[in-house]
Each structure stands twice: as C-alpha cells, then as structure tokens.
Amino acid sequence: MERNMSELEQALFSKSYLLKVRLRMIVEAVGSMEGRAGLCVGTVPATLRARLMALGGDWTFSGERARLPYDSGAFDRVVILDHLEWVDDDYAFIADVHRVLKTAGILYVDTEHLKRWTVWRPVRRLFGVEERPAERLRDGYTGGGLFDVLKDGFDVQETRTYSRFFIEGTETMSRLAVGAFLNAERSDAADREGDDEADVVSRRLYTIQAIAYPFFVIANALDWLVFYTRGYRLMAVARRRLWKPRRAPVLKDGRSLVDATLNTKIGTAADF
C-alpha cells in the first residue's frame, strides 16, 4: 500500500513540529519496513499516515478498540498512537495486539503521560481544545502503569517521556489558534460558495502552523532548562515474547522500576 503525499500535505507536515518528533521516534523503533507488514492503531493525521506509508512495507490502519479483525501473526510491527486511553480493557487489547504480532515482533506505544501536576491540560479543557475528553476512559499512563499493561507478553526495551512544559505550552496556544480559526470558518461557511472548502481550511492551518513553528523551536530549547521534569507524552518500545504473567519489580519507596528509570533505554542511563 503506497500513497504519495500531496504538496499541501508535505507542507503541513514540514510545519508540524510534534508530528515530526513522533515520526522520528517511530522510525527509530520500527526500523526498516522493507518486506514487512505494519499495523497502526489510533487516530492518525493524514500527513503522518502518508509518512508512515512512505517508510515502505505494507501498512494497515485501524481504529478498533476491542478485538482486532486480523489473523494471528499477521504483522511484524504494531504502532499504537493516542489510543489506549480510549480502550475499555487495555490489558485485553494488548493481549490481542500480541496475537496479531509475529514472533519477536516490535510494538511501539505513544500515549498521554499521567502526571500528578500539570498546567496545560486544565487550560485545554477550559477552552475546549482537549482531545475528546468526554470519550476518554483514562487520562494517560505512568511509566509503571504502561509497563504493567505490557509486561506479560512483551519485553519493554525502552520508555521515554517527551514534550515538556514549553513545548506543551506552545502546542496549547497553537490549538487555541486553530480552534478560533475553525469556529470562524464554520460561521463563514454558509456565506461561501465553491467546492474548495477543505483546501482553504488546510491552507489556513498551514499558515497557523508556519507561524507557530519557530516558537516550537524556541520552546524545545527552553525545555532544556527543565530537563529534570517529565514530559506530557509517554512512549514505549517493546519486543514480543511468549505470553506469561509476571510481577513487576517494586522499589522500597513504592515506585516501579520503570517509573524510577523513565526516559532511559534498558541497560543505559542516558537521557533522551
């Protein structure tokens, strides 16, 4: 399955800072897709979907929240993006992901990081730009919580948080700008004729993203000032193994080993 990105999609992606970060981490996790089959589960923006397909291999995209309608061992790689928060039984869902993955297949998960204290998420909820809060069954995962869901069928090789305070603040402001534009666009839609409305919206979104992009670059630099904090996003890379329930190790202070070593690769102490 291949699809070339349109010029507008390429332009939108080039100014989508967080999407570029997410794509880079996915590429690092899944490796070469030549001759491989991949499954991406979640709500994936068209620009990111096109980029994933450009990696090569045979990609399937799904929004299923229960049993996956695919044969056992059908995929070499599974990518879960912004999806586990909406799944009723996340443990059963991961068990089904285990089923459709080939032996020693790779699983990549990207989800909201559950933090004790946040600034930007309440702001998003207040202004109505938080993604589907009424439908979401959980606000995210701690590193230990995500490890608990994965540990029985996967060897978790890496956990990492990203998108710290300044990046999330810039993302929040960008969402507010997009929300204000879309509200204005809906008001004007009845007075405008023509069949190019989607194109007009995409070009306006590109303008907003182009304006915001330098601020994301600055925010990324500023986030180094708060390098000791954990990000608003959490990712994990895991390799499939024989499904076997096991207990997660817990430290004396009550933290899981994963929470204590979050932002590291197994066997290293290097920060991301």
Structural domain for 90, as ranges: 7-121+131-164+229-265
224-265 tens-digit pLDDT: 999 889 999 999 999 999 998 876 566 656 666 556 655 655
Q: What is the pTM of this model?
A: 0.84
- On whether both 186 and 209 belong to a single domain, the answer is yes
Domain annotation covers residue 1: no
- On whether both 174 and 151 belong to a single domain, the answer is no
- On whether both 155 and 33 belong to a single domain, the answer is yes
In sequence order, which residues have a C-beta less than 8 Å from that of residue 266 and are 6 or more positions away? 156, 157, 158
First-residue to last-residue Cα distance in the chain = 33
Domain annotation covers residue 2: no
Domain annotation covers residue 183: yes
Cβ atoms of 116 and 238 within 8 Å: the answer is: no
In sequence order, which residues have a C-beta less than 8 Å from that of residue 157 and are 6 or more positions away? 237, 238, 239, 265, 266
- On whether both 80 and 172 belong to a single domain, the answer is no
- On whether both 85 and 215 belong to a single domain, the answer is no
- On whether both 18 and 43 belong to a single domain, the answer is yes
Query: What CATH number has the domain bearing residue 150?
Result: 3.40.50.150
Question: What type of residue is 94?
Answer: I
Can you list the positions of beta strands (E) in the chain?
A: 37-42, 58-62, 75-81, 101-112, 154-162, 233-240, 264-265
Phi/psi of residue 235, nearest 5 degrees:
-130, 155
Domain annotation covers residue 270: no
DSSP string, 50-96: HHHHHT-SEEEEE--SSS--S-TT-EEEEEEES-GGG-S-HHHHHHH
- Split into its structural domains, the chain has a count of 2
3-state SS of 95-129?
HHHHHHEEEEEEEEEEEEECCCCCCHHHHHHHHCC
Domain annotation covers residue 159: yes
- On whether both 56 and 87 belong to a single domain, the answer is yes
Cβ atoms of 127 and 248 within 8 Å: the answer is: no
CA 216 to chain centroid, in Å, comes to: 17
Length of the chain: 272
Domain annotation covers residue 126: no
Cβ atoms of 107 and 238 within 8 Å: the answer is: yes
- On whether both 209 and 160 belong to a single domain, the answer is no
- On whether both 193 and 242 belong to a single domain, the answer is no
Tens-digit pLDDT profile for the chain (272 aa)?
Answer: 444 557 777 888 888 999 999 999 999 999 999 999 999 999 888 888 988 998 899 999 999 988 999 999 999 999 999 999 999 999 999 999 999 999 999 999 999 999 888 899 889 888 888 876 667 889 899 999 999 999 999 999 999 999 999 999 999 999 898 888 777 665 555 455 554 566 677 778 888 899 999 999 999 999 999 988 999 999 999 999 999 887 656 665 666 655 665 565 543 333 33
Q: What's the confidence (pLDDT) of residue 191?
A: 52
**234 DSSP 8-state letter:** E
- On whether both 19 and 108 belong to a single domain, the answer is yes
Query: Strand pairing partners for 113?
Result: 141
State both tokens at 168.
């999330």
Strands 154-162 and 75-81: unpaired
Q: What's the confidence (pLDDT) of residue 94?
A: 97
- On whether both 101 and 197 belong to a single domain, the answer is no
- On whether both 51 and 149 belong to a single domain, the answer is yes
